[in-house]
Amino acid sequence: MTAVRAFAATSATDPLAPGTFQRREVGPKDVLIEIAWAGICHSDIHTVRGDWGQVQYPLTVGHEIAGIVAQVGPEVTGHKVGDRVGVGCMVDSCRECANCAAGHEQYCHNGFTDTYNGVDRDGRITQGGYSTHIVVDEHFVLRVPEAIPFEKAAPLLCAGITTYSPLRHWNAGPGKKVAVVGLGGLGHMAVKLAHALGAEVTVLSQSLRKRDDGLRLGADHYYATSDPATFTELANTFDLIVNTVSAPIDMDAYLGLLALHGTIVSVGAPPEPVPVTLFTLFENRRSFAGSKIGGIAETQEMLDFCAEHGIAPEVEVIRADQINAAWERVLASDVRYRFVIDISTLPA
Ligand SMILES: [Zn+2]
Ligand SMILES: [Zn+2]
């Protein structure tokens, strides 16, 4: 066991505080990573606050991790000491079911192991990236290309892949009209990626407050959804709508914006069911879909794509002692567009 320093939650309501916990020994196929940067994802806050079920405290969250390989097990072939690497939302899966075999570990029939608040193979609760080191099976460790500024790599491991995977699956590209609902951490990556893939991109946001940002990030058009005229003007327009908003939205109204054979895919969701009128789907043979992060091979493809196209998230780097304030700002949607913690500032 190796003791690591962390910024951990001790309850659903108390501020995160410095602490330590034990990582497992580096096994034959394991990689020990010295973490440099950790992104703050809204999921971190939902998990700690108990919004998504039971939590065992103390818990260290964080599933957008970028760091340097510090040690490798004797059977590791894909990574070596000194490499720039990343870890996202998964640290293990069964590797045997049909979905794992097809490279879609995120849909493992036996359930993948979450990077934090999951149950590890030794039965212990997994602990995430707001910490100095992590030990991960090499299959779940990604290579971070040199062309990606290191502090900006971390958010790609959740926000990046979560938006890249549906864009690729539904063939966002030249000649396709793609709309992105919400311009937050996920939405701003969806805009950049869809633009780089060659699609015509429209942002659908509550107001025009972030319009200049949206256009600068690569959107061709920007509409306010608070204006009812948006829904008549854009009726039957889009091949793909990526919904990044986790608050309830009027799904029928958005479905009406889909063109022939269009799909709306949600990557964020409210806890309660969303009503859909099936007659809205009959028109234009529309599809109503969901998507969850992305597989390991696809995550590597996304990182390589970002390096090739010079794409990276817009980040605000913070110190460890700013994490609690940053969480409040995430809850208030007051971040453009992702907080990244400088792990070197964790108290000794
Ligand atoms: Zn996340
Ligand atoms: Zn599996």
Q: What pLDDT score does 98 carry?
A: 98
Ligand number with the minimum distance to the CA of 99: 2
CA of 96 to the centre of ligand 2 (A): 5
C-alpha of 158 from chain center:
2
CA of 56 to the centre of ligand 1 (A): 19
CA of 171 to the centre of ligand 2 (A): 25
Q: What pLDDT score does 316 carry?
A: 98
CA of 151 to the centre of ligand 2 (A): 31
CA of 295 to the centre of ligand 2 (A): 11
Ligand number with the minimum distance to the CA of 46: 1
Q: Looking up tokens 């799904």, which residue turns up? A: 251
Task: For the chain, list the domains and their CATH numbers.
Answer: 2-158+294-301+311-345 (3.90.180.10), 160-290 (3.40.50.720)
Q: What pLDDT score does 271 carry?
A: 82
CA of 298 to the centre of ligand 1 (A): 16
Residues in the chain with pLDDT values less than 50 = none
3-class SS string, the chain: CEEEEEEEECCCCCCCEEEEEEECCCCCCEEEEEEEEEECCHHHHHHHCCCCCCCCCCECCCCCEEEEEEEECCCCCCCCCCCEEEECCEEECCCCCHHHHCCCHHHCCCCCEECCCCECCCCCECCCCCECEEEEEHHHCEECCCCCCHHHHHHHHCHHHHHHHHHHHCCCCCCCEEEEECCCHHHHHHHHHHHHCCCEEEEEECCCCCHHHHHHHCCCEEEECCCCHHHHHCCCCEEEEEECCCCCCCHHHHHCCEEEEEEEEECCCCCCCCCCCHHHHHHHHCEEEECCCCCHHHHHHHHHHHHHHCCCCCEEEECHHHHHHHHHHHHCCCCCCEEEEEHHHCCC
Ligand number with the minimum distance to the CA of 93: 2
Q: What pLDDT score does 211 carry?
A: 97
Q: What pLDDT score does 336 carry?
A: 92
Q: What pLDDT score does 250 carry?
A: 95
CA of 139 to the centre of ligand 2 (A): 13
Q: What pLDDT score does 161 carry?
A: 98
CA of 99 to the centre of ligand 2 (A): 6
Q: What pLDDT score does 47 carry?
A: 96
Ligand number with the minimum distance to the CA of 139: 2
